[in-house]
Structure 1
Amino acid sequence: MLELEKKLYNEYFQEHRTKVTTYLFWINAIFLLLSCTWNFLFLVFQLAYSRANFPALLGCLGILFLLGIVNHFVKIPSKINQYFMLAYCAGLITVLYFESGYSESWSFFLLLPLLGGLYGEKRILFYYSFLGLGILSYLSFASPTSLYTPDSIDISNRILVYIILATLSFFVLKTLHIIYMKQVNLVLQSMQITIEEVVNSFIVAVEAKDLYTFGHSERVSMYAVALAKYLPECSKECLEKLRLTGLLHDIGKINIPEAILSKEGKLTDEEYEVIKTHPVVGARMVERIERLQELKDGVLYHHERWDGNGYPTKRKGEDIPLEARILAIADAFDAMTSNRSYRKGLTVDEAFQALEEGKGTQFDPQLIDVLQNVKGEFRNIYQKANDPIKEFESLTDLF
C-alpha cells in the first residue's frame, strides 16, 4: 500500500502543479492585458496617471503568450513548465521594478516566495525565495529606483519583510501537504474497503460451490502471513499483499463444475486437467481489476513445485515468485489438515511431517526451514479454525 500511497500522492501534486501553472499564466495575462490597456489609454489621451513603461509591459505580454503557444503545441511536462512560469514571474517582477517608476516597486519581489509556496514543493520554494531575495538585495544596492534612494535601514527592512513572507509561504506549503495527504488517506481507506468487499464476494462465490472447502481461503491467508512474518524480505506492504493473495488464490475454481469439486472418488485424468486450469482462470480474473493486478503472480503460480513438476507453467526453484512459494506451503498444509469429500484430514503433526518430506522437491527448502519457527502459530490458527461453534456461526452467516 505504500507504493500506492506514494503514487496517489504524486498524482495529486502533478495535477496541482499543472493547475497552479495554469492559474499563474492567466493571472499574469489578465494583469498585463489590463496594464497595457490602462497605459495605452493614458498615452492616447495624454493623461499623467501612470509612470509605467508601456512598451516594456507590451513586450512582457508578448513573451507570455509566446510561452502559452509553445506549451500548447509542444506539451511541456508540468514539472518543467513550473520552472518556466516561475522564471517568467521573476523576470516580470524585475521588469516592473525598473519600469514601474515608483519607489515602492521593490515590494513586487514579495510575490515570488508566495508563488513558489503555492506549488507545495520545498525545493521550488527555497530556490525561488533565494532567487528573489538575491535579486531584491542586489537591485536595492546597485539599481535603486530613480525617485527615491533607499538607505541601509530601508534595505534591511526590505530583506526582513521578504524573509518573513518567505517563512509564511513555507507554512502555505506545509498546509498543502497536509490537505493532500488527508485526501490520499481518504482515497486509500475507501479503496481498501472496496477491495475487501470485492475479495469477500469472490470468496463467498467460490466456497458456496463446495462446503468441504469452506474457510479454506481465510486459513491459507493466515498461514501464509504467519510464515512470511519470519522472512526479513517481507515488509508490511508485502504481508498485506500476501494476505489478499491468500484469500483469492483459489478464485479460479469458480469456473470448475461443482461435480468435479465435490466428487467423492478419485478424479479422472480429464477432470484433473480441468482442476489444473483454476490458477490461470484466477490470474485472468484478478488482472482485470486494477487494484488486484499485483496479486496475479501468487494466484497463478501457487501450484508450482520447487522441482519444476507443478502447474500451470512448470517453473522451478527461485523462478517461482516468493509469494507463490509461501502460498504453496500454506495451501498444502490446510488441504492436508482439512476433511474432504473423499478423505479424512491429517493431524497437524502428520501434515508437518508431509511438508518436511516435500522439502526440496515440492517446497522451497529454505521456507520449510523457516517453518520450524512458525509451527506454534500454525497450530493456533488450526485450532481456532476448527472450533465447532465458530464454524457453525460462520456457516449460518453465509446463508
Structure 2
Amino acid sequence: MIAALTLLTGSFSVKDASINARISISETFVFVAVLLFGTPAGTIMVLLEALIVIFWMSPIGRPFHRLVFNLAAPAIALWIAATVFFLFPGIEPYSLHSTPLADLILPLTAFTGLYFLLNSWLVAIAVGLETQQSAMVIWWTRFTWLSVNYFSGASVAALIVTYMRELAPSALLIIVPLLVVSYLTFRTAMGRVEDSNKHLSELNRLYLSTIETLAMAIDAKDQITHGHIRRVQGYAVGLARHIGVTDDKLIKAIEAAALLHDMGKLAVPEYILNKPGKLTGLEFEKMKLHASVGADILSAIDFPYPVVPIVRHHHENWDGTGYPTGIKGTDIPIGARILSVVDCFDALTSDRPYRPRLADDEALRILFERRGKMYDPLVVDTFARVHTIIAPEVGVDLPTGALDEITSSIQTRETTSLPPIEDIAAGTDAIITLYELARALAHQPNLIETGDVISKHLRRLVPFAFVVLYQYDDATDELIARHASGDLAGLTRALRIPLGQRLSGWVAANRQAILNSDPTLDLGDLARAFSPRLRSCLSCPVLLGEEQLVGVLTLYSCQSEGFTEDHRRIVEAVARQSAQAFKSAIEFSFQ
C-alpha cells in the first residue's frame, strides 16, 4: 500500500523551472516507510519516487550523469538522515516497537531537518556547478521554502503511524483529500511564482535592452573607439566568471557597467575624444571627468545591482594613483578592477588614429608591466590565462535598424540633412551627376584632371570648402596628397601622412569612414589658416574591390558638423566609382 501511494503521489509532481527540476509531495509516504519499517524501506521508497519523476515525467533528453545523480542524491540523503534518526535512544521501526508521539517529536524533527538539508544542498551544489552560480544563493532563494513540504509530510506521517498502524482502505478517505488539497495548493503557489519570475525576467530583458540602446548611442559619439563597449562587456563578464564571481547580481552589475562605463563621455568635447595624438594636460583633465560624471548621471537610476560604483572607479589604480578618488587595492570594487583590465586590453588591441592595433602578446606584456601598479595582479593573471577562451564570446552585435538611426542621429545635424538615401538614389540630380562622373572619369588619364572631375561632380551633391585626394603609397606606407581643391591647395601639395596616423591615416588603416571630426586633427595649423576656419571633415577610404586601398578622399567644411550621414554615403559611392580611374591616373602620371 505504501509503495503504491508513493508511486501515485510521485507522479503528481510540480516543475520548478528556475532550477529545471520537479518536486513531488510523496515525502509523506517516504517518512511513513521509514517510521514503520526502517532505513532500507525508506531508501527504496525514495528510489521509487525518483524513478517515477525521471522516467515517467521526463524520460527524454537527460544526460546519463544527471539521471545517476537524481537517483543517488535523495537516496543517500535519506539513508544518512534515517540512520541518524534510529541512533536516538528508544527509536525503532514501529513494526518492532511503538514509540509514543511525545517521544517521537525531537528525533523526527532532527531526521526531517537533516534529510531536507542534505537533499536540498546536494541539488543546490549540482545546479550551482552547472550554471556557475553560488550554491548558497541557489539554496537560499530556491530551496528554503521547501522545508515546509518536508516538515508537513513528516507531521502527517507521524499521525498516520501513531494512530493508524495499518493503512486500511477507510483511512484513505482521510489521507487522500489532504494530499489532494496539499498538491493543488502547492501547484497553484508554484504557478504564481513561475509567472512572477517570467514577468521579472521579461522586465530585466527590456531593462538591459534599454541600457544597450543608450550605450550604443553614447558609443557612437566616440568614433575612434566605436564598438568598444560591446567587446569590453564580453571580456568583462567572461573574466568575472573565471575569477570566481558567482553572485548573479554582481554579474549583472558588471554586464551593465561594461556597457555604461563611458557614459561620462557625454561631458567630454568630441575633439578630445577623436584626437589622434597625445592629449595635453588640460585635455586629459577634461577626459578624466568622464568617470565621475558618468557615475553621477547613473546615480539617478535606481539600479537593482551595484552598477554606479563600478562605473565611478573603473579608472582607479591598484596602487592608489588613479582617479577620481584615489582608492587602492581591494577597496576598489572587484567589478571595477575587472573592467579596468579588459578596457585597457581592448584599447591596446584596437586601431587608433595615432597608432595601429597591438598584437595580443604585446598588449598582455603591457598589462604585466602595469600589474600590481595599475591593475589587480589576480585579475591580470587570470585574464592572461583565459583571454583566448573568453574572446569568442566577444563580437556579439546588437540588433541594427533602430540603433543605426539613433547612432547616426548623434553624428549628423538635422538642419543640414538631405532626404533619405533611397530618395537620393532615385533623385534625378544624383543619378545624372553620378552618371556624368562615370563618363568623365573614363576620358581623364591625367591625375590633375581626374582630381578636378571628382571634386567638380562631388560639389554638386555635397557642400564642402576644401577637398584633398590622397594616394596610398605601399612602398613607404604613407598617404600622399595628390590633388587638392580649395584655397589651401598649394599648401597641401605633397603632404604626407603615415598610415594609421591623423584622421585620414586612421581611415586608410581601418577602411572605415570618419564623419564630422575636427580638421585640425588631420591638417593641424593648416585648418586654422583657412578663412573661415575649417570646423568639420568627412574622410572616406578609396577602395578597389573590398580591400585594395588606393587612397583616401577627405572633405573639409567651415560648418560645425557640416556633413550628414547621407553625405557620407554619397562620398563612399563616389570613392568606389572613382577608385579605378584614380589608380589608372596615378599609374599614367608616374610611369
Provide TM-score, normalisation by structure 1: 0.55
User: Which of 165, 181, 198 is 2:177 aligned to?
Assistant: 165
Residue type matched to 2:148 in 1? R
User: Which of 148, 153, 175 is 1:123 aligned to?
Assistant: 148
Q: Which has the higher strand share?
A: 2
Q: For each residue in 1:335-382, what CA deviation from the matched residue of structure 2 results, as whole angstroms up to 9, or x when unmatched?
A: 112222343332222111100100110111122222232142366568
Q: What is the distance in 2 between the residues matched to 1:129 and 1:317?
A: 51
Consecutive unaligned residues of structure 2, counting only runs of 5 or more, are 1-17, 20-144, 409-591
Matched, 1:248 2:260: yes
Shift of 1:268: 2.8
Distance 1:199 1:275, change over 3 A: same
Matched, 1:318 2:343: no
Consecutive unaligned residues of structure 1, counting only runs of 5 or more, are 7-119, 139-151
Partner of 2:294: 282
Q: What is the distance in 2 between the residues matched to 1:353 and 1:288?
A: 39
Bigger radius of gyration: 2
The answer on whether the counterparts of 1:125 and 1:170 sit within 8 Å (CA) in structure 2 is: no
* 3-state DSSP of counterpart to 1:267: coil
Distance 1:125 1:158, change over 3 A: farther
* 3-state DSSP of counterpart to 1:302: coil
Matched, 1:295 2:320: no
Q: What is the distance in 2 between the residues matched to 1:268 and 1:380?
A: 37
The answer on whether the counterparts of 1:252 and 1:281 sit within 8 Å (CA) in structure 2 is: yes
Distance 1:184 1:130, change over 3 A: same
Partner of 1:12: none
Residue type matched to 1:222 in 2? G
Shift of 1:219: 0.8
Distance 1:188 1:350, change over 3 A: same
User: Which of 197, 201, 204 is 1:192 aligned to?
Assistant: 204
The number of residues matched between the two structures is: 261
* 3-state DSSP of counterpart to 1:229: helix
* 3-state DSSP of counterpart to 2:326: coil
The answer on whether the counterparts of 2:364 and 2:384 sit within 8 Å (CA) in structure 1 is: no
Matched, 1:360 2:383: no
Q: For each residue in 1:233-290, what CA deviation from the matched residue of structure 2 results, as whole angstroms up to 9, or x when unmatched?
A: 4455543432222111112212222222122333232322222121222223333323
User: Which of 184, 207, 218 is 2:219 aligned to?
Assistant: 207
Q: What is the distance in 2 between the residues matched to 1:293 and 1:204?
A: 21
Residue type matched to 1:226 in 2? G
* 3-state DSSP of counterpart to 2:243: coil
Q: For each residue in 1:146-203, what CA deviation from the matched residue of structure 2 results, as whole angstroms up to 9, or x when unmatched?
A: xxxxxx9xxx999654432321221122222322222222212321222222112222
Q: What is the distance in 1 between the residues matched to 2:231 and 2:155?
A: 59
Residue type matched to 1:363 in 2? Y
The answer on whether the counterparts of 1:286 and 1:292 sit within 8 Å (CA) in structure 2 is: no
Partner of 2:381: 369
* 3-state DSSP of counterpart to 1:314: coil
User: Which of 213, 226, 235 is 1:223 aligned to?
Assistant: 235
Matched, 1:334 2:346: yes
Distance 1:220 1:173, change over 3 A: same
> Which one scores higher on RCO, CA 8 angstroms, separation ≥ 6?
1
The answer on whether the counterparts of 2:318 and 2:329 sit within 8 Å (CA) in structure 1 is: yes
**Between 203-212 and 356-365, the greater mean CA deviation after superposition:** 203-212
Provide TM-score, normalisation by structure 2: 0.39
Distance 1:396 1:164, change over 3 A: closer
Q: What is the distance in 2 between the residues matched to 1:332 and 1:378?
A: 16
Partner of 1:19: none
The answer on whether the counterparts of 1:208 and 1:214 sit within 8 Å (CA) in structure 2 is: yes
Residue type matched to 1:262 in 2? N
The answer on whether the counterparts of 1:283 and 1:296 sit within 8 Å (CA) in structure 2 is: yes
Distance 1:157 1:288, change over 3 A: farther
Shift of 1:293: 4.7
Partner of 1:232: 244
1:1-399 alignment, distance < 5 Å = 123=148, 160-235=172-247, 238-291=250-303, 293-377=305-389, 380=392, 399=408
Q: What is the distance in 1 between the residues matched to 2:235 and 2:370?
A: 17
Residue type matched to 2:328 in 1? K
CA RMSD of aligned residues (A): 3.9
Q: What is the distance in 2 between the residues matched to 1:222 and 1:372?
A: 15
Percent identity of equivalent pairs = 33
